[in-house]
Amino acid sequence: MSASSERPIVFVTRKLPASIETEVVAHYDARLNRTDDALAPEQLTAALRQADIIFCTVTDNIRVEQLGGSGIRTKLIANFGVGVNHIDLDAAKRAGITVTNTPDVLTEDTADLAIGLMLMIMRRMGEGERHVRTGAWSGWRPTHMVGRSPRGKTLGVIGYGRIGRAVARHAAAAFGMHVLWYAPRDPRIEDAASAGPTNAQRATSLDELLQRADVVSLHCPSTADTKHLINADRLRMMKDSAYLINTARGDIVDEWALSSALREQVIAGAGLDVYEFEPSVVADLKEMENVVLLPHLGSATMETRTAMGERALKNIAAFVAGDVPPDVVVRP
């Protein structure tokens, strides 16, 4: 941005950790979302016309209809999160807007949650917790609510970036799982070899991974190529004893197809933290015991959410100073 005596207007679309909001108020002309309600499309359009910088989150669908009109003032969209599939990047570029994200800082927490979902569904923890709460538990018995152990099983990791490799490392170290990976968008092979567990093998195809894995964990980005990557046909390729874990993006999975596969016991179970129609969830999934459902908690620790805010603030500060932000996704 060009130098100006006036402080840039920063529009914050959702409530952020207190320390981050304090920093925004201290350094910029801040417009905060006090109610923490998701913004309607017309509110996002108004913000783009009024603010120099939009500090947004995954709940803000910033599309061509917001970016394609006249009167757009915004020059930076600083996303609070890694994924940017909720932003029309081509339209942003055409509108002269830089887009940034917050990589690295949420890797370990998201990986932890994927491991947690795997344990919850394999060991039937969610089902068991509900069993106790409803008063249905009548006491211990040898054959009651028997699950499966992850130890020695094969973990199939789809998407082998930072989070996928972290999940692979944790699963191999903690449970001795064999790791098979496939990347729809190829990572640097030397990075994959150095950052993943030593026992990890690259699958020759997605189909091979699905056929061999006992647990399939999704960590690929949401793109036109990965939408419904896991569909009815691919679910049928999985073992009937296998589990699907999704902490990536909801639309990677055809949620209706997954619902049918779980109901018909095509696969054994699923653990989901993200949803195709988020925040709505296919009704059948909420009625099933062989699925664990979490409300998009992947990065939800105070440490990580604060670190994400700090990373976004660094991008904003660099942009205001006229420098290239460290985490540029697209530039005009």
- Catalytic-role residue among 249, 255, 305, 311: 249
Residues in the chain: 332
Neighbours of 149 (CB within 10 A): 10
For residue 212, name the pLDDT band (cuts at 50, 70, 90): very high
In CATH terms, is domain 107-293 a member of 3.30.465.10?
A: no
Q: Are strands 243-246 and 269-272 parallel, antiparallel or unpaired?
A: parallel
The mean per-residue pLDDT over the stretch 309-328 comes to: 98
Q: Is 296 a catalytic residue?
A: yes
Chain mean pLDDT for the chain: 94
Strand partners for 292: 271
Q: Is 249 a catalytic residue?
A: yes
**Nearest in space to 85 (alpha carbons), one of 99, 75, 98, 71:** 99
**Nearest in space to 320 (alpha carbons), one of 143, 98, 110:** 98
C-alpha 259/C-alpha 292 separation (Å) is 12
C-alpha 69/C-alpha 49 separation (Å) is 10
Domain borders along the chain are: 9-105+302-330, 107-293
For residue 198, name the pLDDT band (cuts at 50, 70, 90): confident
Residue type, 31: R
For residue 7, name the pLDDT band (cuts at 50, 70, 90): very high
Neighbours of 117 (CB within 10 A): 28
- The predicted pLDDT at position 194 comes to 62
Please indicate whether the domains covering 9-105+302-330 and 107-293 agree at the CATH topology level: yes
Q: Is 127 a catalytic residue?
A: no
For residue 191, name the pLDDT band (cuts at 50, 70, 90): low
Q: Which residues, other chains included, contact 194 with Cβ-Cβ below 8 Å and sequence gap of 6+?
A: none
C-alpha 324/C-alpha 326 separation (Å) is 6
**Nearest in space to 47 (alpha carbons), one of 19, 26, 27, 67:** 67
CATH, range 9-105+302-330:
3.40.50.720
pLDDT in tens, 81-123: 998 999 999 999 999 999 999 999 999 999 999 999 999 999 9
- Cβ–Cβ < 8 Å for 99, 84: yes
pLDDT for residue 153 is more than 90: yes
- Cβ–Cβ < 8 Å for 103, 325: no
Q: Which residues, other chains included, contact 73 with Cβ-Cβ below 8 Å and sequence gap of 6+?
A: 9, 48, 49, 50, 51, 52
- Catalytic-role residue among 31, 169, 208, 278: 278
C-alpha 297/C-alpha 246 separation (Å) is 12
- Cβ–Cβ < 8 Å for 124, 145: yes
pLDDT for residue 131 is more than 80: yes
Q: Is 301 exposed, middle or buried (0-12, 13-18, 19+ CB in 10 A)?
A: middle
**Nearest in space to 331 (alpha carbons), one of 97, 103, 62:** 97
For residue 268, name the pLDDT band (cuts at 50, 70, 90): very high
pLDDT for residue 240 is more than 60: yes
Neighbours of 282 (CB within 10 A): 16
C-alpha 158/C-alpha 248 separation (Å) is 10
